[in-house]
Amino acid sequence: MRKLSVYVTLFSAACFLAGASSAVRADQEPAPNPIASYKIDARLALDERQRPTKLTANEQLTWRNASPDTINELQFHLYLNAFKNRQSTFFKESKGQLRGIKFADGEWGNIEITALKIVNGADLTSQLKFIHPDDENAEDQTVISVALPKPLKPNETVVLDLQFAARLPRVYARTGYWGNFALVAQWFPKIGVWEEKGERQRAVAGWNCHQFHANTEFYADFGNYDVTLTVPAIYKGKLGATGAQQTEQANSDGTVSYRFTQNNVHDFAWTLDSNYLVLKRSFKAAEWIKPEDIKPMSERLKIPAESFQFDNVEITLLLQPEHASQAERHFRAAFNSLKYCQLWYGRYPYSTLTIVDPPFNATGAEGMEYPTFITAGTAWWASEDQNPETVIVHEFAHQYWQGLVASNEAEEAWLDEGFTTYTEIKLMQTAYGNNRFVLRPANFPVWSFPVQLPHTAPYRINTFNRPFNDPIQTPAWKYYDDNSYATNAYARTGLMLHTLAAWLGEATMDRVMHTYATRWRFKHPSAADFYAVVNEVSGQDQSWFFKQFIEGTGTLDYEITGFKNFKPKTVLGRPIEAADPTAPRENTFTVRRNGEAWYPHEFRVTLADQSVVKILPMLVKNEQVEYQYIYVPSDKPKEPDYIVGPEPEAHKESWPLKERWHRFRIPPSLSNDQSIVSVELDPEHRVQLEANQVNNSYANTVAITSTARWAGSLMFWLQSFLQMVASLA
Amino acid sequence: MFTAFFHGTKRASRSLKLLASLFAFNLLFALPLIIPVFSLIQLTTNNRLAARTLMADQLNPVWFTDLLNNQLADGSLIAFATETFIQLFVIAGLYLLFNLMLTGGILGHLLHDTERFSMRRFWAFGGAYFWRFFRLLLYAAPFYGLVFLAFNLASRWLARGMSQATALGHYPWYRLALYGALVLGLALVNMVFDYARIHTVKHEVRGMWRATLASLKFCALNFFKAYPLYVLIAGLGFALYAFLAWVRDSVIQDSMFAVGLATAFGHVALVIKLWAKLALTSAQCHFYEARQPAMAQAVMPAPTFEFRSATSDVLDSGVLARAQTVFVEPMKPVATTAPLAIAATNRTDQS
């Protein structure tokens, strides 16, 4: 008799899936057939020191082989074992420190699978073995493998019952407890992703189940989650999780149980803290997204306005009491995020969003993203710097970049962190404007630095002060060091995408991002998939850009080194004919490429009568950039159709790519014999990969006043400091 | 205390030459330090359009980020901050030594001179007391160290509590109070050594431990007047300085005129700070003299000029000889309420 019970049929899987909440709106999305669905019954207990660290759970995993391959083994992540001892790969790489937060000695965490069996089938517990796909670290226990008694054929489903016990570490790297608080993330045995040949450019089919590294995050298949959480009564009403809460039930043993469900997500995290202020608000789409917001986006994206769909979202804010006065700022940040991300990247397909404010000394839990669930982080005394907003916007953007467009965070971290950085910069700039930098000695916002920083600025600082050690496209655990990871995965990618927007034009870039976000929603795209979207939407092959700025390490830095105006020779103030009447009479300016990378920059030449000559890159052909000169009279600065000079064909210029510098000539026929007063490349400062933007201009400017202004201020403060020191004498 | 306060402020306000000199010294010291900064801004903005947007109250963010990146070239923010801190530390040390000279000049002028200010005598006094004040500064170091140690211990205690907390709660306020206590503690040590310096000059003492002990005794006996006097004048000076600094900061510096105006306000603020220092010193001198036991008005001891070679021009020119002539004459009382009454024969602490 065939052992049907070993492998559950698609029918049984469908029955389980149907059991999930019908209220979950993601069901309406054209989501893929779920691959990895979990039903978990977890119990968190206080330990002998009254800390929420002891976790036990039963997990039922329904996993479908969605590939054309026959699979003989399953692989699981046991992320919590990264905190088991000093021998884990995570600990060795991080040296017990992540994002500036240090490990507290002795506060280990771990996870152990106590039983694993196929439902109504074989007990596989004894088959479990730790594997190390990334390194030779035999002590690492973050990935486990189990051989199946019978190969799993394409489209077959297996249902596994697991029991596991875990201990939460003190939180310093995304998961753990502190005081009464716990962020329970990466907490359950989670199956890896089976990738078929060709998927994400994979040469051979196989498991993608990396060990937990210091700088890697997560990668998983979509599925439906049905999780029941039983916690001590002190946490009644003080708990939040991925998805929507279905039930709350007080138990006879003094505990309380909550059931959360969410379809079409690839992870589940939850939190509790007896101190939480639990605040709920609704994002009312009709109030926040008006027709006047939709119309321009509709025109830009070239899709009908009717196709924009938005729904209300219930937002739960779990706030620390000492941050109560910042509740409105948190909610507004969430509302702005929901508004713009939906306008730009399509509908948010879930009905809930939970925002967590971790307590003091739990900063390791801040700034993380899980489906429908993000952790924020703010200052004790919020000031004019956009502190809680930036974190919330960034983490919410992850709902799209990795939450929905589920790239591999371990192998291509830039596809989520960098895209999120791009979105954060754009959204913060759109919704809030420039930021301020506030000095906070002893937590008091004492002094606002006198500079209004665009949101690109924090990412530019410390990114361009040294050569790049790695290309952006590098697996997260293979970057030269933590700094290189942060620079490339976050800052450089964000700036690279803004540079791409400068090259393609904002409207085209919006179409690129929208197409990528909607086409790859609920899927696992790779860099090549993004390249394809860019090429398709722009209608051009942009591989020169990708090779240099995603797969290369070259610095982009052009400099205007000067200009020279033609002056006719004079005798006693009277112009005389040049000795050589054929000698050129044009004005010139010189541009030098200081970095290894090249970019077809736009130049803007301002003439003495305030008319402008624009020099626009038209195409890259035969290893050279071809430019077209365009004249804009001073009385028509906003002329939509630029006026080309009298001899359009004559007003062209080519710059061979191999040449480091080029001298551009402004013929008198175009400049009307007006002299140059300034030259600027990338006048709008949109090419954010330009390592040095100040040298992108040249003018007859002597900066005495501005120098006196800032040097004088600095001198005042220096004198004040010295006088303070002098009081010791 | 209030008599001393009014005396000090009045004397400081009248000492315009001295005030102007102190300001000039301060300016001359700061100017060379700012030249590299001036050059850096000039170099990075000259012939660049960024210069046009570098005015008013906001730095050009493009220039600012590029400047930071250039300063951080091949280094980290921490390395840059450390380097800057070390440079500031060295500059502060040099300035402190320079101010030891100035303090000698100020005290010599206040305690030995008539109200007429003479630059040559100012420097002669500065040279005369420099080495003794330097020793006093070294003796003061352990006392300052004790204050910092106490601050550090209290900070650690606070940090230990904070490290176990799940809410920041009142900790920032506690820390603020701790900083306040640190300032008051430093002020206390500073006050003790102020009086040690006054004692040194007043009595021509050469033993600095003895001067320190005498000052400690004096401060202990007169704590409830001496310390409030210090806090009152220092607080007043700081409040005036802070106000003028705020006024200076309020000027929108978008033209050369506005830059000049802000600079003027800034310098007035700095002068006010110097005035406060002078007023404090003058008031302390007055207070010290007023609290001395009644002694016969007699001959002031002449200051001992230690750096004879350095002041040889002064000696050669006969200025010192004239000064000594003045010193052997009875001093004119600084204030009618507290006539100088120091008899050389009564002094026991002169070495």
Pairing status of strand A244-250 against strand A352-356: unpaired
Name the H helices within A65-169: 89-94
- Chain A residues whose beta carbon lies within 8 Å of the beta carbon of residue B270: 716, 719-720, 723
Q: What's the pLDDT at B315?
A: 45
The predicted structure's pLDDT at residue A21? 38
Q: B332 falls in which pLDDT band (50, 70, 90)?
A: very low
- From the list A614, A668, A673, the residue with the least C-alpha distance to A643 is A614
For B257, name the nearest residue in chain A, comparing CA atoms only.
A705
| Beta-bridge mates of residue A591 | A560, A662
Give a three-class secondary structure readout of A510-540.
HHHHHHHHHHCCCECCCHHHHHHHHHHHHCC
What does the pLDDT read at residue A339?
A: 98
Quote the pLDDT of residue B313.
46
* Contact (Cβ atoms closer than 8 angstroms) between residue B258 and residue B251: yes
Does residue B108 register a pLDDT over 60? Answer: yes
Question: Which of B37, B63, B103 lies nearest to residue A729, judging by beta carbons?
Answer: B103
pLDDT at B316: 46
Low-confidence ranges of chain A (pLDDT < 70): 1-32, 568-570, 572-584, 637-650
* Cβ pair A697:B49 closer than 8 A: yes
- Identify all chain A residues contacting B169, using CB atoms and an 8 Å cutoff: 322, 360
Work out the average pLDDT over B75-99. 84
Q: What is the mean pLDDT of residues B214-229?
A: 93
Q: Give the span between the Cα atoms of A350 and A371, in whole angstroms.
A: 9
Instruction: Return all residues near A516 (Cβ < 8 A) that are at least 6 apart.
Output: A405, A525, A529, A530, A533
Chain A residues within an 8 Å CB radius of B176: 442, 444
Asked if A697's CB is within 8 angstroms of B50's CB, the reply is yes
Q: Could you tell me how many CB contacts below 8 A there are between chain A and chain B?
A: 228
- Which residues in chain A touch residue B253, judged by CB atoms under 8 angstroms apart? 709, 713
Which structure tokens are listed for A671? 């400049």
Which pLDDT score, from 0 to 100, does residue B350 have?
34
DSSP state of A401: B
Nearest C-alpha of chain B: how many angstroms from A83?
Answer: 21
pLDDT at B305: 54
With a CB cutoff of 8 Å and minimum separation 6, the contacts of B136 are B193, B196, B197, B200, B208, B211, B212
Measured distance CA(A40)–CA(A267) in Å, rounded: 12
What's the confidence (pLDDT) of residue A639?
58
A361, A461, A712 ranked by CB distance to B163: nearest: A361
User: In angstroms, what CA-CA distances link B261 with A709, A712, A713, B250, B255?
Assistant: 11, 11, 12, 11, 10
CB A137 within 8 A of CB A92: yes
Q: Nearest Cα to A675, choosing from A561, A562, A566? A: A566
Does residue A498 contact residue A684 with C-beta atoms inside 8 Å? no
Which residues in chain A are contacts of B163 at CB distance < 8 A? 361
Contact state of B30 with A722 under an 8 Å Cβ cutoff: yes
Residue B167 clears pLDDT 80, i.e. is over it: yes
A26, A349 Cβ separation under 8 angstroms: yes
Kindly indicate the confidence band of residue B74, based on its pLDDT and cuts at 50, 70 and 90.
low
Half-sphere exposure in the Cβ direction for A111 (13 Å, CA): 31
Q: Contact A445/B54 with Cβ under 8 angstroms?
A: no
Contact residues, chain A, for B51 at CB < 8 Å: 699, 701-703, 706-707
CA-based nearest distance B275→chain A, Å: 11
Nearest to A143 by CA among A200, A202, A92, A190: A190
- Decide if A694 and B190 are in contact by the 8 Å CB cutoff: no
| Optimal mutation site among A694, A700, A713, interface B, most CBs of chain B within 10 A | A694
Please answer yes or no on whether A705 and B27 come within 8 Å at the CB atom.
Answer: no
Q: In whole angstroms, what is the distance from residue A242 CA to residue A375 CA? A: 12
Query: Which of A352, A99, A367, A340 is CA-nearest to residue A246?
Result: A352
- pLDDT for A23 equals 38
Averaged pLDDT of chain B: 81
**pLDDT given for residue B327 in this prediction:** 45
SS3 of chain A: helix, strand, coil, percent, to 5:
30, 30, 40
**A373-375, strands of its sheet edge to edge:** A277-283, A313-319, A352-356, A373-375, A368-370
The two tokens of residue A183 are: 């962020």
Q: Is A566 helix (H, G, I), strand (E, B) or coil?
A: coil
Give the predicted TM-score (pTM) of the model: 0.87
Give the CA count within 13 Å in the CB-facing half-sphere of A593: 18
